[in-house]
A = this chain, B = another copy of it.
Amino acid sequence: MPGILGEVRALVTPAMDEALSRLSPEIRKVIDYHMGWRDADGRPVQRRGSKSVRPALAFLSARAGGGEFQGAVSGALAVEFLNNWAFLIDDVMDRDRFRRQRETAWVVFGEGQAICAGTALLTLAQQVLLESDSPTRLKALSLTMDTSARMLAGQTLDMTFERRFDYTVEESMTMTRSKTASLMRCATSIGAVLVGAEDKTVDALAEFGQCLGVAFQARDDMLGIWGTPDQTGGRPRGFDVKARKGTLPIALALNDEAHGSALREIFALPGELSQAHVERATELIVATGGREWTEDLARRMVAQATAAVEGLALPDDIRAHFGQLAAMGLPDDVAR
Protein backbone atom coordinates (compact mmCIF):
# COMPACT_ATOMS: atom_id res chain seq x y z
CA MET A 1 0.00 0.00 0.00
CA PRO A 2 2.77 2.49 -0.71
CA GLY A 3 0.26 4.79 -2.42
CA ILE A 4 -1.60 5.64 0.75
CA LEU A 5 1.04 5.28 3.46
CA GLY A 6 1.99 8.96 3.23
CA GLU A 7 -1.61 10.00 3.76
CA VAL A 8 -2.01 7.48 6.59
CA ARG A 9 1.02 8.82 8.45
CA ALA A 10 -0.04 12.42 7.97
CA LEU A 11 -3.32 11.62 9.73
CA VAL A 12 -1.97 9.22 12.37
CA THR A 13 1.22 10.94 13.54
CA PRO A 14 -0.22 14.13 15.06
CA ALA A 15 -3.18 12.28 16.59
CA MET A 16 -0.83 9.70 18.07
CA ASP A 17 1.45 12.35 19.54
CA GLU A 18 -1.53 14.02 21.15
CA ALA A 19 -2.84 10.77 22.62
CA LEU A 20 0.58 9.74 23.95
CA SER A 21 1.08 13.13 25.58
CA ARG A 22 -1.27 12.10 28.38
CA LEU A 23 1.04 9.28 29.51
CA SER A 24 3.34 9.82 32.50
CA PRO A 25 6.96 10.78 31.66
CA GLU A 26 8.23 7.38 32.88
CA ILE A 27 5.84 5.44 30.64
CA ARG A 28 6.36 7.81 27.73
CA LYS A 29 10.09 7.10 27.86
CA VAL A 30 9.52 3.38 27.32
CA ILE A 31 7.00 3.96 24.54
CA ASP A 32 9.22 6.46 22.71
CA TYR A 33 12.06 3.97 22.81
CA HIS A 34 9.89 1.07 21.73
CA MET A 35 8.45 3.02 18.80
CA GLY A 36 11.96 3.85 17.60
CA TRP A 37 11.58 7.59 18.22
CA ARG A 38 14.15 7.95 20.99
CA ASP A 39 17.15 6.01 22.22
CA ALA A 40 17.43 4.41 25.65
CA ASP A 41 18.63 7.68 27.17
CA GLY A 42 15.71 9.63 25.78
CA ARG A 43 17.60 11.34 22.95
CA PRO A 44 15.54 11.79 19.78
CA VAL A 45 16.62 9.65 16.86
CA GLN A 46 15.60 9.72 13.23
CA ARG A 47 12.02 8.37 13.28
CA ARG A 48 11.89 5.17 11.33
CA GLY A 49 8.37 4.95 10.03
CA SER A 50 6.53 1.94 11.36
CA LYS A 51 4.98 -0.11 8.62
CA SER A 52 1.59 1.33 9.65
CA VAL A 53 -0.20 -1.60 8.04
CA ARG A 54 -2.93 -1.82 10.66
CA PRO A 55 -3.75 1.91 10.74
CA ALA A 56 -3.86 1.80 6.94
CA LEU A 57 -6.35 -1.05 7.15
CA ALA A 58 -8.54 0.97 9.50
CA PHE A 59 -8.58 3.82 6.98
CA LEU A 60 -9.32 1.53 4.04
CA SER A 61 -12.10 0.06 6.16
CA ALA A 62 -13.66 3.50 6.57
CA ARG A 63 -13.64 4.03 2.80
CA ALA A 64 -15.01 0.53 2.28
CA GLY A 65 -17.81 1.42 4.69
CA GLY A 66 -18.76 4.48 2.68
CA GLY A 67 -16.88 7.10 4.71
CA GLU A 68 -13.59 8.92 4.53
CA PHE A 69 -10.15 8.27 6.05
CA GLN A 70 -10.71 11.10 8.55
CA GLY A 71 -13.59 9.22 10.13
CA ALA A 72 -11.31 6.39 11.24
CA VAL A 73 -8.48 8.22 12.99
CA SER A 74 -9.44 6.99 16.48
CA GLY A 75 -9.76 3.43 15.12
CA ALA A 76 -6.38 3.66 13.42
CA LEU A 77 -4.79 4.76 16.69
CA ALA A 78 -6.59 2.03 18.61
CA VAL A 79 -5.29 -0.79 16.38
CA GLU A 80 -1.79 0.69 16.32
CA PHE A 81 -1.81 0.87 20.12
CA LEU A 82 -3.14 -2.68 20.47
CA ASN A 83 -0.48 -3.90 18.06
CA ASN A 84 2.31 -2.28 20.06
CA TRP A 85 0.83 -3.49 23.35
CA ALA A 86 1.06 -7.01 21.93
CA PHE A 87 4.66 -6.46 20.75
CA LEU A 88 5.77 -5.13 24.14
CA ILE A 89 4.14 -7.97 26.08
CA ASP A 90 5.04 -10.77 23.66
CA ASP A 91 8.69 -9.78 23.68
CA VAL A 92 8.74 -10.15 27.47
CA MET A 93 6.93 -13.47 27.39
CA ASP A 94 8.92 -14.95 24.52
CA ARG A 95 12.16 -13.54 25.97
CA ASP A 96 12.89 -11.98 22.58
CA ARG A 97 15.88 -9.68 22.97
CA PHE A 98 15.71 -7.95 19.59
CA ARG A 99 13.00 -6.35 17.45
CA ARG A 100 13.78 -4.49 14.22
CA GLN A 101 17.53 -4.69 14.90
CA ARG A 102 17.19 -2.97 18.29
CA GLU A 103 17.16 -4.32 21.83
CA THR A 104 13.60 -4.82 23.00
CA ALA A 105 12.09 -2.51 25.62
CA TRP A 106 12.19 -5.04 28.47
CA VAL A 107 15.91 -5.61 27.91
CA VAL A 108 16.55 -1.88 28.22
CA PHE A 109 14.02 -0.87 30.90
CA GLY A 110 13.14 -4.13 32.65
CA GLU A 111 10.17 -6.44 32.32
CA GLY A 112 7.88 -4.54 34.65
CA GLN A 113 8.33 -1.25 32.83
CA ALA A 114 7.69 -2.87 29.45
CA ILE A 115 4.53 -4.56 30.71
CA CYS A 116 3.16 -1.37 32.29
CA ALA A 117 3.96 0.67 29.19
CA GLY A 118 2.26 -1.91 26.98
CA THR A 119 -0.81 -2.01 29.20
CA ALA A 120 -0.90 1.79 29.18
CA LEU A 121 -1.23 1.59 25.38
CA LEU A 122 -4.12 -0.86 25.77
CA THR A 123 -5.91 1.59 28.06
CA LEU A 124 -5.09 4.49 25.76
CA ALA A 125 -6.59 2.66 22.76
CA GLN A 126 -9.88 2.50 24.63
CA GLN A 127 -9.73 6.07 25.90
CA VAL A 128 -9.17 7.38 22.38
CA LEU A 129 -12.25 5.54 21.14
CA LEU A 130 -14.45 6.56 24.07
CA GLU A 131 -13.52 10.19 23.42
CA SER A 132 -13.95 10.03 19.65
CA ASP A 133 -16.82 12.03 18.17
CA SER A 134 -18.21 9.25 16.02
CA PRO A 135 -21.85 8.46 16.87
CA THR A 136 -20.95 4.75 16.64
CA ARG A 137 -17.86 4.99 18.82
CA LEU A 138 -19.24 2.65 21.48
CA LYS A 139 -19.60 -0.13 18.93
CA ALA A 140 -15.97 0.44 17.97
CA LEU A 141 -14.99 0.48 21.64
CA SER A 142 -16.79 -2.79 22.24
CA LEU A 143 -15.03 -4.31 19.22
CA THR A 144 -11.67 -3.20 20.60
CA MET A 145 -12.37 -4.60 24.06
CA ASP A 146 -13.49 -7.87 22.53
CA THR A 147 -10.32 -7.92 20.42
CA SER A 148 -8.02 -7.38 23.37
CA ALA A 149 -9.86 -10.10 25.30
CA ARG A 150 -9.36 -12.48 22.35
CA MET A 151 -5.69 -11.59 22.05
CA LEU A 152 -5.17 -12.32 25.75
CA ALA A 153 -6.98 -15.64 25.47
CA GLY A 154 -4.86 -16.56 22.44
CA GLN A 155 -1.62 -15.56 24.12
CA THR A 156 -2.53 -17.54 27.24
CA LEU A 157 -3.40 -20.62 25.17
CA ASP A 158 -0.13 -20.24 23.25
CA MET A 159 1.82 -20.25 26.50
CA THR A 160 0.26 -23.54 27.57
CA PHE A 161 1.71 -25.04 24.37
CA GLU A 162 5.22 -24.48 25.75
CA ARG A 163 4.59 -26.99 28.52
CA ARG A 164 2.66 -29.72 26.75
CA PHE A 165 2.93 -31.22 23.29
CA ASP A 166 -0.51 -32.81 23.22
CA TYR A 167 -2.45 -29.90 21.77
CA THR A 168 -4.60 -30.48 18.72
CA VAL A 169 -4.50 -28.74 15.34
CA GLU A 170 -7.84 -27.20 16.28
CA GLU A 171 -6.31 -25.69 19.44
CA SER A 172 -3.43 -24.26 17.43
CA MET A 173 -5.99 -22.83 15.00
CA THR A 174 -7.98 -21.30 17.88
CA MET A 175 -4.77 -19.74 19.15
CA THR A 176 -3.95 -18.34 15.70
CA ARG A 177 -7.44 -16.92 15.27
CA SER A 178 -7.45 -15.24 18.67
CA LYS A 179 -3.86 -14.19 19.16
CA THR A 180 -3.08 -12.66 15.78
CA ALA A 181 -5.99 -12.78 13.33
CA SER A 182 -8.38 -11.02 15.71
CA LEU A 183 -6.37 -7.79 15.54
CA MET A 184 -6.45 -7.81 11.75
CA ARG A 185 -10.19 -8.48 11.95
CA CYS A 186 -10.49 -5.43 14.20
CA ALA A 187 -8.41 -3.28 11.84
CA THR A 188 -10.37 -4.16 8.70
CA SER A 189 -13.74 -3.54 10.33
CA ILE A 190 -13.26 -0.72 12.85
CA GLY A 191 -13.14 2.02 10.22
CA ALA A 192 -16.46 0.90 8.77
CA VAL A 193 -17.95 0.76 12.28
CA LEU A 194 -16.81 4.31 13.01
CA VAL A 195 -18.31 5.75 9.81
CA GLY A 196 -21.61 4.04 10.57
CA ALA A 197 -21.60 1.35 7.87
CA GLU A 198 -24.37 -1.22 8.05
CA ASP A 199 -23.83 -4.54 9.84
CA LYS A 200 -23.63 -6.59 6.64
CA THR A 201 -20.68 -4.51 5.42
CA VAL A 202 -18.96 -4.56 8.81
CA ASP A 203 -19.35 -8.34 9.04
CA ALA A 204 -17.93 -8.88 5.55
CA LEU A 205 -14.93 -6.68 6.35
CA ALA A 206 -14.43 -8.48 9.67
CA GLU A 207 -14.43 -11.84 7.85
CA PHE A 208 -11.95 -10.42 5.32
CA GLY A 209 -9.56 -9.43 8.11
CA GLN A 210 -10.06 -12.62 10.09
CA CYS A 211 -9.25 -14.88 7.10
CA LEU A 212 -6.39 -12.68 5.98
CA GLY A 213 -4.99 -12.74 9.50
CA VAL A 214 -4.94 -16.53 9.52
CA ALA A 215 -3.32 -16.53 6.05
CA PHE A 216 -0.61 -14.10 7.20
CA GLN A 217 0.02 -16.21 10.29
CA ALA A 218 0.16 -19.46 8.29
CA ARG A 219 2.71 -17.79 6.00
CA ASP A 220 4.65 -16.63 9.08
CA ASP A 221 4.50 -20.14 10.51
CA MET A 222 6.14 -21.42 7.31
CA LEU A 223 8.80 -18.70 7.54
CA GLY A 224 9.42 -19.77 11.14
CA ILE A 225 10.48 -23.18 9.87
CA TRP A 226 11.70 -22.72 6.32
CA GLY A 227 12.35 -18.99 6.02
CA THR A 228 15.87 -17.76 5.31
CA PRO A 229 17.41 -15.13 7.62
CA ASP A 230 16.87 -12.80 4.68
CA GLN A 231 13.12 -13.31 4.84
CA THR A 232 12.79 -13.28 8.64
CA GLY A 233 14.78 -10.21 9.57
CA GLY A 234 17.91 -12.10 10.48
CA ARG A 235 16.46 -14.99 12.46
CA PRO A 236 18.18 -18.34 12.06
CA ARG A 237 16.35 -20.90 9.95
CA GLY A 238 14.00 -23.08 11.99
CA PHE A 239 13.70 -20.78 14.97
CA ASP A 240 10.08 -21.77 15.64
CA VAL A 241 11.16 -25.41 15.81
CA LYS A 242 13.99 -24.54 18.15
CA ALA A 243 11.54 -22.62 20.35
CA ARG A 244 9.07 -25.55 20.17
CA LYS A 245 6.30 -23.13 19.17
CA GLY A 246 2.73 -24.37 18.76
CA THR A 247 2.40 -23.10 15.18
CA LEU A 248 0.04 -24.71 12.70
CA PRO A 249 2.54 -26.93 10.80
CA ILE A 250 4.06 -28.06 14.09
CA ALA A 251 0.63 -28.83 15.58
CA LEU A 252 -0.22 -30.86 12.47
CA ALA A 253 3.02 -32.83 12.72
CA LEU A 254 2.64 -33.47 16.46
CA ASN A 255 -0.74 -35.04 15.73
CA ASP A 256 0.51 -37.18 12.84
CA GLU A 257 0.00 -40.89 13.35
CA ALA A 258 3.27 -41.92 11.72
CA HIS A 259 5.65 -39.19 12.88
CA GLY A 260 3.98 -37.40 15.79
CA SER A 261 5.54 -39.43 18.56
CA ALA A 262 9.06 -39.02 17.15
CA LEU A 263 8.57 -35.25 17.07
CA ARG A 264 7.14 -35.21 20.59
CA GLU A 265 10.20 -37.11 21.79
CA ILE A 266 12.50 -34.45 20.37
CA PHE A 267 10.39 -31.63 21.84
CA ALA A 268 10.42 -33.34 25.24
CA LEU A 269 14.24 -33.28 25.39
CA PRO A 270 15.49 -31.06 28.19
CA GLY A 271 17.20 -27.72 27.46
CA GLU A 272 17.86 -26.10 24.12
CA LEU A 273 17.49 -28.22 20.99
CA SER A 274 20.69 -28.92 19.07
CA GLN A 275 20.94 -27.99 15.38
CA ALA A 276 20.77 -31.70 14.54
CA HIS A 277 17.54 -32.06 16.49
CA VAL A 278 16.05 -28.99 14.84
CA GLU A 279 16.89 -30.47 11.44
CA ARG A 280 15.49 -33.88 12.35
CA ALA A 281 12.30 -32.27 13.69
CA THR A 282 11.98 -30.25 10.48
CA GLU A 283 12.32 -33.43 8.41
CA LEU A 284 9.54 -34.99 10.43
CA ILE A 285 7.29 -31.95 9.85
CA VAL A 286 8.02 -32.19 6.11
CA ALA A 287 7.27 -35.92 6.15
CA THR A 288 3.81 -35.30 7.61
CA GLY A 289 3.00 -32.97 4.73
CA GLY A 290 2.96 -30.04 7.16
CA ARG A 291 4.50 -27.71 4.65
CA GLU A 292 1.97 -28.33 1.87
CA TRP A 293 -0.90 -28.32 4.34
CA THR A 294 0.06 -24.92 5.74
CA GLU A 295 0.68 -23.51 2.27
CA ASP A 296 -2.70 -24.77 1.18
CA LEU A 297 -4.32 -23.27 4.27
CA ALA A 298 -2.82 -19.86 3.51
CA ARG A 299 -4.10 -20.05 -0.06
CA ARG A 300 -7.57 -21.10 1.03
CA MET A 301 -7.71 -18.31 3.59
CA VAL A 302 -6.67 -15.73 1.01
CA ALA A 303 -9.39 -17.01 -1.30
CA GLN A 304 -11.96 -16.92 1.53
CA ALA A 305 -10.92 -13.37 2.43
CA THR A 306 -11.27 -12.26 -1.17
CA ALA A 307 -14.66 -13.93 -1.45
CA ALA A 308 -15.86 -12.20 1.73
CA VAL A 309 -15.59 -8.74 0.21
CA GLU A 310 -16.53 -9.71 -3.34
CA GLY A 311 -20.18 -8.81 -2.85
CA LEU A 312 -19.45 -5.38 -1.39
CA ALA A 313 -19.83 -2.28 -3.56
CA LEU A 314 -16.24 -1.05 -3.04
CA PRO A 315 -14.57 1.96 -4.66
CA ASP A 316 -12.10 0.72 -7.31
CA ASP A 317 -9.01 1.91 -5.48
CA ILE A 318 -10.11 0.21 -2.25
CA ARG A 319 -10.77 -3.05 -4.06
CA ALA A 320 -7.31 -2.81 -5.62
CA HIS A 321 -5.70 -2.23 -2.20
CA PHE A 322 -7.58 -5.19 -0.74
CA GLY A 323 -6.42 -7.33 -3.65
CA GLN A 324 -2.78 -6.36 -3.10
CA LEU A 325 -3.14 -6.99 0.60
CA ALA A 326 -4.64 -10.42 0.05
CA ALA A 327 -1.76 -11.29 -2.26
CA MET A 328 0.64 -10.54 0.58
CA GLY A 329 -0.83 -13.54 2.43
CA LEU A 330 0.20 -15.94 -0.33
CA PRO A 331 3.18 -18.07 0.63
CA ASP A 332 4.71 -18.28 -2.86
CA ASP A 333 8.10 -16.96 -1.82
CA VAL A 334 8.37 -19.27 1.17
CA ALA A 335 7.19 -22.24 -0.78
CA ARG A 336 9.75 -21.87 -3.52
Interface residues of chain A, those whose CB is within 8 Å of chain B, are 22-24, 26-27, 30, 89, 92-93, 110-113, 115-117, 119-120, 122-124, 126-127, 130, 138, 141-142, 145-146, 148-149, 152-153, 155-157, 159-160, 178
CA distance A158 to B119 in the complex (A): 16
Contact of A148 among B89, B123, B152 (CB under 8 A): B123
Please give the count of copies of this chain that the complex contains.
2
CA distance A156 to B106 in the complex (A): 13
Q: Is the beta-carbon distance between A157 and B24 smaller than 8 angstroms?
A: yes
Q: A110-B159, A123-B152 are in contact. Are A115 and B130 (CB under 8 A)?
A: no
Q: Is the beta-carbon distance between B130 and A149 smaller than 8 angstroms?
A: no
Q: Looking at A26, A27, A113, which has the most chain B CB atoms within 10 Å of its CB? A: A26
Chain B residue numbers with a CB within 8 Å of A178 are: 24
Q: Is the beta-carbon distance between A153 and B23 smaller than 8 angstroms?
A: yes
Chain B residue numbers with a CB within 8 Å of A22 are: 149
Chain B residue numbers with a CB within 8 Å of A30 are: 156
CA distance A89 to B146 in the complex (A): 21
Q: Is the beta-carbon distance between B93 and A156 smaller than 8 angstroms?
A: no
Closest B residue to A118 by CB, please name it.
Answer: B119
Main secondary structure of the interface of A (DSSP, over half): helix
Q: A113-B159, A145-B126 are in contact. Are A120 and B27 (CB under 8 A)?
A: no
Chain B residue numbers with a CB within 8 Å of A138 are: 130, 138
Q: What's the least CB distance linking A50 to chain B, in Å?
A: 22
Q: Is the beta-carbon distance between A153 and B24 smaller than 8 angstroms?
A: yes
Additional pairs, 10, CB under 8 Å, beyond known A24-B157, A126-B126: A26-B153, A27-B152, A93-B112, A112-B156, A113-B160, A119-B119, A119-B122, A120-B152, A122-B123, A130-B141
Q: Is the beta-carbon distance between A155 and B116 smaller than 8 angstroms?
A: yes
Give 3 nearest A-B pairs by CB, closest first. Answer: A24-B153, A93-B112, A26-B156
Chain B residue numbers with a CB within 8 Å of A27 are: 152-153, 156
Q: What's the least CB distance linking A298 to chain B, in Å?
A: 25
Contact of A156 among B116, B124, B130 (CB under 8 A): B116
Q: What's the least CB distance linking A77 to chain B, in Å?
A: 15
Chain B residue numbers with a CB within 8 Å of A120 are: 149, 152-153, 156
Q: Is the beta-carbon distance between B89 and A115 smaller than 8 angstroms?
A: yes
Chain B residue numbers with a CB within 8 Å of A116 are: 89, 152, 155-156, 159
Chain B residue numbers with a CB within 8 Å of A156 are: 24, 26-27, 30, 112-113, 116-117, 120
Q: Is the beta-carbon distance between A142 and B130 smaller than 8 angstroms?
A: yes
Q: Is the beta-carbon distance between B160 and A26 smaller than 8 angstroms?
A: yes
CA distance A127 to B92 in the complex (A): 26
Q: Is the beta-carbon distance between B26 and A157 smaller than 8 angstroms?
A: yes
CA distance A80 to B122 in the complex (A): 19
Enumerate 30 A-B pairs (CB-CB under 8 Å) in ascending A order.
A22-B149, A23-B153, A24-B156, A26-B160, A27-B153, A27-B156, A30-B156, A92-B112, A92-B115, A110-B159, A112-B155, A112-B156, A112-B159, A113-B160, A115-B115, A116-B159, A117-B156, A119-B152, A120-B152, A122-B122, A122-B123, A123-B148, A123-B149, A126-B126, A127-B142, A127-B145, A127-B146, A127-B149, A130-B142, A130-B145
